[in-house]
Amino acid sequence: MRFKLLLFAICFFCAANVFAQTHSTEIGLQTDNDSYLMQGSDRYYTDGIFFYYRHAQKVNESSKLANKVLGLEIGQKIFNPQSGSVNYKGADQAYLVDRPFAGYLYAGATLNFLYKNEGALKFGAQIGIIGPGAFGKEVQDYVHDHFGFYHPGGWEYQIHNEAQLNLSANYTKLIARDSWIDASFTGYANLGNGFSGAGAGGIVRIGNFNQLFNSVITQSSAIQKQAAEPLHQHEIFFYYKPLLNYVLYDATIQGGLFASHDDPNSLEITRNKEPVIFSNQFGVAFTTGRFAVDAAAIFHTKETKEMVRSEQWGSVTALYRFK
């Protein structure tokens, strides 16, 4: 179902005005799923859906800023163990839940400062909930039951409810560029009762790309006024993004930070996070006058000490620009 909706959205965007011009506002949809990689898997980070609204702000031409983008978003993430159906029959079978069942539902805002020297600093805040209140079970049950998949089992052992407040900061800076290839540094830090940690890595782009202050790679394809002539009318490039992540806390694995985990009658199953995770992201992105599309494959090393396999999923983002 998600795949059909995605194809429809891309076809709709492709039918829109494709002449290169500046647009200050964009709306869009991102969908993540491990089935997109056609490996027959249904495990770990298994599904995510996100809706975006971004609007470019006016910037003073004499300032160091080339662009500034305010973003609003809502999203949901769903996590499974090694399978979405675990035949849990007692304590001797607890090892099957090698990553907890968990849902995360949130609303958030970002403010993206993009500089003329091709540095980008983005701040974000999210409020939400983990646990049954995130409706992970209900969404997964509905999709599986109505579209011919197996019925999920094991959600009674999911992470318990806890309200969430999570803050983030991300920095990207151009290192070097030639006519068809460039390289940038990227790093981030997260702080909150749901997700805390930091990471650093790089981004390599190959193809026709624009400056970092007006590119899909930095979520800045919305812009009020060009601060410099774009390198290309339309972007179309491949990219590679390796990232080394240090995980201080992950509530979808360890449970709520402020919740009690000592109740002997609780069915909640938590696990032990891996402190260091390495990820590789391979993608292709393109933009025209009215739309932008980014498709990627992401590969993670194990997130918990109990996980029997590594993690992988596909991600597709489609954005429509106007005004």
| Amino acid code (one letter) for 312 | Q
Instruction: Enumerate residues 6+ apart whose C-beta is below 8 A from 318.
Output: 6, 9, 10, 13, 28, 29, 30, 291, 292, 293
The partner residues of 68 in beta bridges, in order of sequence, read 57, 113
Nearest to 287 by CA among 314, 319, 315: 319
Q: What is the CATH number of the domain that holds 267?
A: 2.40.128.140
200-212, pLDDT tens digit by residue? 999 999 999 999 9
Please tell me the total count of domains within the chain: 1
Does residue 14 register a pLDDT over 80? no
> What whole-number distance in Å separates Cα of residue 266 and Cα of residue 131?
13
> What whole-number distance in Å separates Cα of residue 94 and Cα of residue 232?
54
Look up residue 310 and give its two tokens.
Answer: 């590594």
| Amino acid code (one letter) for 105 | L
Could you tell me if 128 and 106 are in contact, meaning their C-beta atoms sit under 8 angstroms apart?
Answer: yes
> What whole-number distance in Å separates Cα of residue 73 and Cα of residue 148?
30
Q: How far is CA 279 from the centre of its chain?
A: 13
Does residue 3 register a pLDDT over 70? no
252's enclosing H/E stretch is helix 251-254
126-148, pLDDT tens digit by residue? 999 999 999 999 999 898 888 77
Confidence of residue 320 (pLDDT cuts 50, 70, 90): very high
210-254, pLDDT tens digit by residue? 999 999 999 999 999 888 899 999 999 999 999 999 999 999 999
What number is the average pLDDT over the span 96-121? 97
44-56, pLDDT tens digit by residue? 999 999 999 999 9
Look up residue 170 and give its two tokens.
Answer: 């991300």
Q: If you write DSSP's letter for every residue of 208-219 in order, what string do you get?
A: E---GGG-GGGT
- Which of residues 228 and 316 earns the better pLDDT score? 316
Does residue 18 register a pLDDT over 50? no
Q: If you write DSSP's letter for every residue of 87-114 in order, what string do you get?
A: ---SGGGGGG-SS--EEEEEEEEEEEEE
Could you tell me if 53 and 73 are in contact, meaning their C-beta atoms sit under 8 angstroms apart?
Answer: yes
26-73, pLDDT tens digit by residue? 999 999 999 899 887 789 999 999 999 999 999 998 999 999 999 999
Does residue 304 register a pLDDT over 90? yes
- Can you give the residue range of the structural domain that contains 181? 2-15+23-322
Helix (H, G, I), strand (E, B) or coil at 66: strand
Taking residue 73's Cβ as centre, other Cβ atoms within 10 Å add up to: 18
